Amino acid sequence: MVRVGLIGCGAIGTMLAKAIDDGTVANTDLVAVFDIYAEQMEDLVKKLKHRPKAYREFEKFLKESGAELVAEAASQEAVKQYAEKIIVSGKDIMIMSVGALLDEELLKKIKTAAEREERQVLVPSGAIGGLDAVKAAKLGGVDRVVLTTRKHPDSLKDSPHFQRVVKDPEGLRDARVIFEGAADEAVKAFPANVNVSAALSLAGIGGANTVVRVVADPSVTRNIHEIEVEGSFGRMKVLLENIRHPANPKTSYLAVLSAIETLRSRASREIRIGT
């Protein structure tokens, strides 16, 4: 049994916890949860059959929980604060807020700690596909990577950039490109919306060279991601139309399923396909 600790008890963390609790993720045991929002954390624990211990202090969570793998489902800020400490304490980590890893200094610290401690850093593919093909293409040389993300304004409205550039969200009637730039800037402008661009950047040619377009489109009901890659291998286009998570429209249902599958694969003895 892999002993799992969870950071973040919101919509995504709740779904991960339930998947472990009901046996969807076999060979795992959720032993502890940590969240700065105590009420949210306590509500989650009450919903589970096998109740993990709830921690309000991170240091106690780290030292006392007995977890050997920590799943982060909180925020980019949580990755910045806790990821290196988790690895140094001798635990593996799964990072969902992958946008944080486009901070080159942070990524270097995490890589160095993981190599020194011989720990794993797991990064789910999230709400997109084709990352194995992108990694393969990079070996031969990739010239261009573009991600176009199209979401309903309701999914984007809490982001800092949306609030700066869209003065009248209710008056937005047609699709509008509200951001076009490098992925490492996109994850700052939309910290809860474009983690997919970070996963794509890490698989491909980096955050500075990956172009991201964000389209606010009031006509769509799904989170749509279109990936275009060109290089010596040829040309690839991948389109995903994702159902929004019912409890958190900023993210896609597939992103949570990806995290569940990453945990399941880590804990199983099955043949792994692609990753």
pLDDT score recorded for residue 271: 52
Residues 85, 7 contacting (CB under 8 angstroms): no
Instruction: Write down the pLDDT at residue 133.
Output: 96
Note the pLDDT of residue 167: 87
Q: Give the number of other Cβ atoms within 10 Å of residue 196's Cβ.
A: 30
pLDDT tens for 168-185 read: 888 899 999 999 999 999
2 pLDDT exceeds 70?
yes
Catalytic residue among 50, 152, 161, 225: 225
Task: Report the percent of the chain where pLDDT is more than 70.
Answer: 97
Report the pLDDT value the prediction gives residue 87, as an integer from 0 to 100: 98
Three-class HEC string of the chain: CEEEEEECCCHHHHHHHHHHHCCCCCCEEEEEEECCCHHHHHHHHHHCCCCCEEECCHHHHHHHCCCCEEEECCCHHHHHHHHHHHHHCCCEEEECCHHHHHCHHHHHHHHHHHHHHCCCEECCCCCCCCHHHHHHHHHHCEEEEEEEEEECHHHHCCCHHHHHHCCCHHHCCCCEEEEEEEHHHHHHHCCCCCHHHHHHHHHCCCCCCEEEEEEECCCCCEEEEEEEEEECCEEEEEEEEEEEECCEEEEEHHHHHHHHHHHHHHHCCCCCCCC
CA 44 to chain centre: 20
Q: Pick the closest to residue 191 from 80, 56, 98 (CA basis).
A: 98
Sign of CA dihedral 172, 254, 263, 22: positive
Is 225 annotated as catalytic? yes
Name 142's bridge partners: 231
pLDDT in tens, 90-137: 999 999 999 999 999 999 999 999 999 999 999 999 999 999 999 999
Band of pLDDT at residue 270, cut at 50, 70 and 90 = low
Cα dihedral sign, 87-54-77-243 = positive
**Four-CA torsion 242, 247, 251, 255, nearest 10 degrees:** -70
Assessment of whether the complete model's pTM goes beyond 0.85: yes
Q: Which band of pLDDT confidence, cut at 50, 70 and 90, is reported for residue 219?
A: very high
- pLDDT tens sequence across 228-269: 999 999 999 999 999 998 888 788 899 999 999 999 999 986
- Predicted local distance difference test score (pLDDT) of residue 236: 97
pLDDT value at position 250? Answer: 80
pLDDT of residue 269: 61
The pLDDT of residue 227 is 98
Q: How far apart are the first and last CA of the chain?
A: 21
**pLDDT tens figures, 18-57:** 999 999 999 999 999 999 999 999 999 999 999 999 999 9
pLDDT tens, residue by residue, 128-161? 999 999 999 999 999 999 999 999 999 999 999 9
- Asked whether 220 and 131 are in contact (CB, 8 A), the reply is no
Nearest residue to 208 via CA among 145, 160, 127, 273? 145
